[in-house]
Amino acid sequence: MANTEQLGNAVATSTGASAATSTGSSAATSTGSSAADRAEIGVIGGSGFYSFLDDVTEIQVDTPYGPPSDSLFLGEIAGRRVAFLPRHGRGHHLPPHRINYRANLWALRSVGARQVLGPCAVGGLRPEYGPGTLLVPDQLVDRTKSREQTYFDGLPRPDGTIPNVVHVSLADPYCPAGRKAALEAARSRDWEPVDGGTLVVVEGPRFSTRAESLWHQAQGWSVVGMTGHPEAILARELELCYTSLTLVTDLDAGAETGEGVSHEEVLEVFAANIDRLRGVLFDTITALPPTATRDCLCTKALGGMDPGFALP
C-alpha cells in the first residue's frame, strides 16, 4: 500500500470542518484551491487505483458518523474530478465488519461526489466464474450481521436533528447507468464481463464454510464478498449512484475441491489483475454521464421525502 509520501505528488493535507453542522455545504475545507477539494465521482478502493495519478490532493473529512476509513485522495481522470477512498484504510488495517460505511458514503457526498464506483474482490460461486472473472452484479443479498446500514436509524445526530422514518427501495440496488458504463469499459478492453448476477455479502472476516458456500450456490447466487453491503443501500439513501465491479479472486469453498479459500491466494490474484481493473475503472469513470444529466432511479430514491436532516 502506498502512503502519502509514495504518491510522488504535492499532497495538500487539510483538516475538514465537521459536517455535523448539517449546513448542506461541503464538509471539507483545505488550504488549497476549492476545486482541488471537490469531486463529482467517488471510488471506494485502495491505493492501487490512484497512487500514480498526477496532482493528488489528500483531504480529511469528518462526518456526523465519525471519520471515514481514511483521507480522501482527489485527482483528475480524463477531465473528471474523482475522490478515492481506501475502503480498508491505508495499510489495510480495517476488517470488513469494522469499516465505517456510513462515514465513507457521507464523506464522498460531502465533497461533491454523486456517482460512486465500488470495486471489490469476491469469491466465485460457480465453476465458470474462476479467478480473473469480472462480474458486474445487478442484485445483492445481505448476510451481514453487525453493521450500521442506514442513515434513518431514528437516533439523534450530533447536531440534534433526528432522522425521519424513511423506507428506501433497494429492489434494483445498482445504478443502471453506472453498470452500463462499467460493462462497456470492460468490453472495450477485451475483458468480457459477466453482465449481472447476485453478490451475496457475508460478515467475515472469515471465509465461508463449505456448507454455507454450497447453500449460497444452491440459491443461484453468483459471487460472495464481504464489503458490498451496506455500501449500496447507504449510497441509495443519499441519492448517490452506486455501481459494484467485482473481481473474482478465488472459487469459494463449495465451488472447488481443494483446501478452501486462502488469504494469500486472494491477494495474489488481485495483484495480478489490478492493472487491468484500474484500466476498466478509469474507462468507466470517463463514460459515466455528467452529474447534471443523471436521470436514473438513484436520483429519486427519497421520492421527495424529507430525511429530517440536510444531505451534505
Which spans of this chain sit near Zn ion (rule: CB under 5 A)? 175, 241, 296, 298
Beta strand pairing status for 223-225 and 198-202?
parallel
| Residue whose CB is less far from Zn ion, 178 or 193 | 178
Closest contact distance (angstroms) between CB of 229 and Zn ion is 18
Closest contact distance (angstroms) between CB of 101 and Zn ion is 19
What dihedral do alpha carbons 27, 108, 298, 278 form, nearest 10°?
Answer: 160
Closest contact distance (angstroms) between CB of 295 and Zn ion is 9
Euclidean distance between CA atoms 58 and 107, whole angstroms = 13
CB 43 within 8 A of CB 119: yes
Percentages (nearest 5) of helix, strand, coil residues in the chain: 30, 20, 50
Q: Is 267 annotated as a binding residue?
A: no
| Residue whose CB is less far from Zn ion, 117 or 280 | 117
Q: Is 172 annotated as a binding residue?
A: no
List the grid coordinates of 199. 453478490
Is-catalytic flag, 138?
no
List the grid coordinates of 216. 449460497
Closest contact distance (angstroms) between CB of 291 and Zn ion is 11
For CA atoms 182, 82, 108, 145, the dihedral sign is positive
| Residue whose CB is less far from Zn ion, 81 or 216 | 81
Q: Is 251 annotated as a binding residue?
A: yes
Q: Is 94 annotated as a binding residue?
A: no
| Residue whose CB is less far from Zn ion, 102 or 179 | 179
Q: What are the start-end ranges of the E strands in 6-91?
A: 41-44, 57-59, 72-77, 80-85
Q: Is 87 annotated as a binding residue?
A: yes
CA distances from 51 to 2, 74, 293 (A): 7, 11, 30
Q: Which of these is catalytic: 252, 275, 283, 295? A: 252
Q: Is 227 annotated as a binding residue?
A: yes
Is-catalytic flag, 250?
yes
| Residue whose CB is less far from Zn ion, 175 or 185 | 175
- List alpha helices for the chain, DSSP H: 101-110, 176-188, 210-218, 228-237, 263-287
Euclidean distance between CA atoms 35 and 273, whole angstroms = 32
Q: Which of these is catalytic: 37, 62, 142, 250? A: 250
| Amino acid present at 223 | V
Give the residue numbers of the binding site. 47, 87-88, 226-227, 250-252
Give the residue numbers of the binding site for substrate. 226, 250-252
Known catalytic residues? 250, 252
Give the residue numbers of the binding site for phosphate. 47, 87-88, 227
